[in-house]
Structure 1
Amino acid sequence: MSAGYRLLGQDAASIDDCLTDVRRSLHRFTRLAASRGLDASRLAAGGSSAGAHLALVAALTTQAPGVTSLVALNPAGLDLCSLEPAQQRDLEHRIGIAPDRLAEFSLIEQVRPGNPRTLIHHRTHDEIEPIDAVRRFRDAMTRAGNDCTLLEYEHAKHGFHYDSDHARDVLATTTRFLLDESTSPASGNFELL
């Protein structure tokens, strides 16, 4: 299922509005899965770029019900607190939050043991989110005992997964990641909505 959410500069006054929409969608999807007889405790969430960031924040900060796997395509906002102070202030202003709240949206700050297993597809020279920040996030997840896989793509642009040269590989790898969860004897059934 695909969730829509308000965008900054359109109907969203701040990133909080965007995140509220994503959290609301996750709850809706959980109820919908249960109403259709699916195992609502085995769901995956994910997105691309800012959508990946919002899906990860929602799942990592609220223990989203039923979300056991995350798929992030060229995610943004992984290590916001490592930005220079001027960049942090500019970002806080652009996303409409108070100066003391940036860590709430920095994904590396949300890493805890027991986070959902995560698959990240990212390009090595991404112009939006540097690969070093993605690697730091992956390493933090691993140190916390979480399953986090980073697949790096050379010579690809931000949003590369839409490109026919990469789309098939991204889809196949993501499908294997999600279905591997369903075939694990200890995991029970995994539902694809």
Structure 2
Amino acid sequence: MNALPQSGNSTTPLIEQRERELLKDARAHVYQVENGYQLNAYCFNPPNHVNAEPKPAIVFFHGGLWDVSMPTQFAPHCMHFASRGMVAVTVEYRVGPKHNATPVDALEDAQMAMLWMRHNHASLGVDPKRIVAVGAASGAHMALSLAMQPDVMEIDGFSPRPQAVIALSALVNTTRKGIESERFPDTKTATTLSPSNNVRKGLAPSLFLHGKSDTIVPHEHVAKFTKMMKRKKNRCELIDFEAANHSFFNFNVSATHFEITLNSMDAFVSDLGYIEPTEYV
């Protein structure tokens, strides 16, 4: 299956061309069909992956605050990690304007994408015990929820929990004292699904990258959250970026910040033992 995703609004030919170019090296798989919509996972494989040993995987959930479908956001990151020997996947999930969806639907899609990967790990060439979940903003909320929710769906003995999480400009507090709670079906659901309400011992290692001038997700939310994680003895690192706003890590916003964040992510994954370390100049 090689169909490109549709955007939430009418897609211009220029955007379609850009999406095709960014995803040309990926293989598209339909991981779920919901209400007639096909949801794709775009897999970038490392070189010479045919009949190779199972590889660690890294799965990306784009940002957009559950409004915009943009799985190409992390295509450059996928290309990088595929070149480093991982199976790199960028996932499209249901968003509000296009699918009349809520964050709960998006989280269900994230769970299904992870379960699909683990259920099909042999054909995908993935080591199901070495999967990193990465997300930006709302996508980071989803990645963290996969790792932190006390109760998650399991199918045929497979779990959607990642072994580690990388969160960029992460939305960590969706309670009334946080932000975006109104996007959830009700306040109780927003509170239950808030990562800030699910901090406990024994959680997966995590790396946070956040701009100190973020006007959408306040830096203090993430600073408080990471301190809570450390108090519970979880491995959790926060890298701050001075004078950086919400989208600082995207290549089209700052090539410098893109390179620094990508190198930081690479070092984190390397420290997990999933890829060989690299010295950066």
Question: Equivalent of 1:50, from 138, 143, 146?
Answer: 138
Asked if 1:109 corresponds to 2:197, the answer is: yes
Relative to total residues, which structure has the larger strand share, 1 or 2? 2
Structure 2 equivalent of residue 22 of structure 1:
110
* 2: CA distance, partners of 1:149 / 1:113: 15
Relative to total residues, which structure has the larger helix share, 1 or 2? 1
Structure 2 equivalent of residue 126 of structure 1:
214
Structure 2 equivalent of residue 79 of structure 1:
173
Letter of the aligned partner of 2:268 in structure 1? F
Q: Relative contact order, CA 8 A, sep 6+: which one is greater? A: 1
* Consecutive unaligned residues in structure 2, runs of 5 or more: 1-88, 153-158, 276-281
The alignment yields a C-alpha RMSD, in angstroms, of 2.2
Is the Cα–Cα contact under 8 Å of residues 122 and 152 in structure 1 kept in the other structure? Answer: yes
Larger Rg: 2
Letter of the aligned partner of 1:158 in structure 2? H
With the length of structure 2 as denominator, give the TM-score of the two structures.
Answer: 0.58
Structure 2 equivalent of residue 185 of structure 1:
none
Question: Equivalent of 1:169, from 260, 266, 280?
Answer: 260
Following TM superposition, the consecutive aligned residue runs of length 4 or more in structure 1 with deviations greater than 6 angstroms are: none
Letter of the aligned partner of 1:75 in structure 2? A
* Consecutive unaligned residues in structure 1, runs of 5 or more: 183-189
Deviations 1:1-38 (A, max 9, x none): 01111112320432111111111111112233343454
* 2: CA distance, partners of 1:137 / 1:144: 11
With the length of structure 1 as denominator, give the TM-score of the two structures.
Answer: 0.83
Is the Cα–Cα contact under 8 Å of residues 13 and 96 in structure 1 kept in the other structure? Answer: no
Identity %: 26
Q: CA deviation at 1:48?
A: 0.9
